[in-house]
Amino acid sequence: MSPTVLPKEKENIACVIYGANNMFLEPRPILKPETDEVQINIRATGICGSDLHYHFEGRLGARILDPAVPMVLGHESSGVVTEVGATSTADDTFKVGDRVVLEPAKSCGQCHCCQIQRYNICPPMKYSSTVQQGKNDGTLRRSICYPTHLLHKMPDTMTFEEGALIEPLAVAMHAVARSPVTQGSSVVVYGAGTIGLLVAASAYAQGATKVTIMDINTSRLAFASEYLPDVQTIQLPLKTTSDEEEDLFTWAQQHTMGIKDGDCDVVFDCTGVESCVVLSFFMVKSGGSVVLVGLGKTKIALPVDVIATKEINVIGSYRYANIHAKAIATVASGKIRLLPLVSHRFALEETPAAFETLRKGGDGVLKVQIGDF
């Protein structure tokens, strides 16, 4: 089968960073796929918060980029197969022209976590556009060769923009799947960014009948009301009265924001902000669950007495495992809409402007995508 090639005017460029504020768009060779790989023309890539940190700070928490070892950014991508490599199995799954979503997590397949199908917490995990077990080049480029076991077919009815949002949707659906949300559940979500909105949408899809989203940003809350017409929105105060620990707990007790005791089954914190995490334990009903989705400070002072005496279930949620196919099917069924979340689109050659748009934020900025739409 002859491969589909990129148009001559479309050079294979990649977004490469060498450290903080040191980004270049560099030409890269178009490689031939090896065994159990396919070559993909990337059509859409979303900018994640981690990409912002690497670009503007040169690090993501303790994961510091070595300027001598530059890295390609991007891990929220979709595209079309342009060439198929040899296969080591009888299962010849992919063909030229297939539309695919790329899963960025490359687990070892051998450790205890992988053996129990929780590969998202595989200790030697490699993850696209992340300094984790060394640097791992990402997908913000025009052409890439990718392992077939990390690809998921998209239906023809799904756009590439939607395909590039399957990765953050997988984060949200994994969080909801780890929770006890069921038919009739009442849910509170902290954070009206992309992940928070998708957690709320996923909670509805799993049967929740009352969902409340809280954020400090009024424009994001207004969008949440448009995106999810049945959702309740509440604006949080911009800051607590004090940074002192005891005052934070007092503030949390005084700002349950009208949610009655016993009226909230599950709280999802998608911010990682200390005050929101603390408030979650006061907000949730006795015997309820708090799911920690957002990553913030390494150490947070928690109201242990409240957690213990209310017998609150504390659940961690990290990335995703075995959820991409379900996420694609959920979008294809119409249960969750993704396109409204894309606020800005840029060509690959406009990547620096795309990052600056997301960094500045402001009203109307939500998910910024880059690609050949």
- 331-351 pLDDT, tens digit each: 999 999 999 999 999 999 999
What pLDDT band is residue 288 in, cutting at 50, 70 and 90? Answer: very high
- Percentage of the chain exceeding pLDDT 70: 90
Is residue 183 assigned to a domain?
Answer: yes
Enter the tokens of residue 178. Answer: 């780890």
Would the pTM count as exceeding 0.85? Answer: yes
131, part of any domain:
yes
Q: What sign does the dihedral 51-52-58-61 (CA atoms) show?
A: negative
Question: Where does the pLDDT of residue 373 fall: very low under 50, low under 70, confident under 90, or very high at 90 and above?
Answer: confident
Residue with tokens 């990337």: 42
Q: How far apart are CA 173 and CA 295, in angstroms?
A: 17
Query: Do 130 and 252 reside in the same domain of the chain?
Result: no
Q: What's the token pair of residue 11?
A: 């050079």
Q: Give the list of residues 6+ apart from residue 205 with CB closer than 8 angstroms, or none.
A: 176, 330, 335, 336
52-68: average pLDDT: 90
**What pLDDT band is residue 74 in, cutting at 50, 70 and 90?**
very high
Pair 113, 146 in one domain: yes
pLDDT band at 2 (very low <50, low <70, confident <90, very high): very low
Q: What is the pLDDT of residue 188?
A: 96
Mean pLDDT within 99-105 = 97
Give me 13's structure tokens: 């460029």
pLDDT of residue 164 exceeding 90, the answer is yes
Pick 88 or 124 by higher pLDDT: 124
What is residue 134's predicted lDDT score, i.e. its pLDDT?
77
Shared domain check, 239 and 198: yes
For residues 85 and 142, membership in a common domain is answered with yes
Nearest CA-CA partner of 120 in 130, 136, 108, 129: 108
Asked whether the CA dihedral 346, 349, 352, 353 is positive or negative, the reply is negative
8 occurs within a structural domain: no
Is the model's pLDDT at 238 over the cut of 90? no
Co-location of 192 and 312 in the same domain: yes
pLDDT at 255: 57
Does 330 map to a domain?
no
Is residue 13 over pLDDT 90?
yes
Same domain, 160 and 61: yes
Give the pLDDT confidence of 298-332 residue by residue, as tens digits: 888 899 999 999 999 999 999 999 999 999 999 99
Do 161 and 176 lie in a common domain?
Answer: no
Same domain as 160, residue 17: yes
What does the pLDDT look like over 257-284, one tens digit per residue?
A: 556 556 899 999 999 999 899 989 989 9
> What is the domain-level CATH number for residue 222?
3.40.50.720
Same domain, 142 and 176: no
What is the residue-averaged pLDDT of the chain?
Answer: 91
What pLDDT is stored for residue 4 in this prediction?
A: 45
Token readout for 203 is: 């909670």
CA distance 26 to 267: 43
For residue 236, what pLDDT band results from cuts at 50, 70 and 90?
A: confident
219 in the same domain as 133: no
Tell me, yes or no, whether 329 lies in a domain: no
Residue 114 falls inside a structural domain: yes
pLDDT of residue 252 exceeding 70, the answer is: no
The answer on 240 and 155 residing in a single domain is no
Q: Is residue 94 part of a domain?
A: yes
Same domain, 31 and 53: yes
C-alpha separations of 356 from 18, 299, 353, 359 in Å: 17, 30, 5, 5
The CATH number covering residue 132 comes to: 3.90.180.10
Q: Please, where are the H alpha helices in the chain? A: 49-57, 112-115, 160-164, 166-178, 194-205, 218-227, 245-254, 274-283, 304-309, 324-332, 351-360
Give the residue numbers spanning the domain of 268: 172-316
pLDDT band (50, 70, 90) for residue 296 = confident
Task: Report yes or no on 331 lying in a domain.
Answer: no
Contact call for residues 187 and 200 (beta carbons, < 8 A): yes
Number of domains within the chain: 2
Spatial separation of the C-alpha atoms in residues 305 and 285, rounded to whole Å: 14
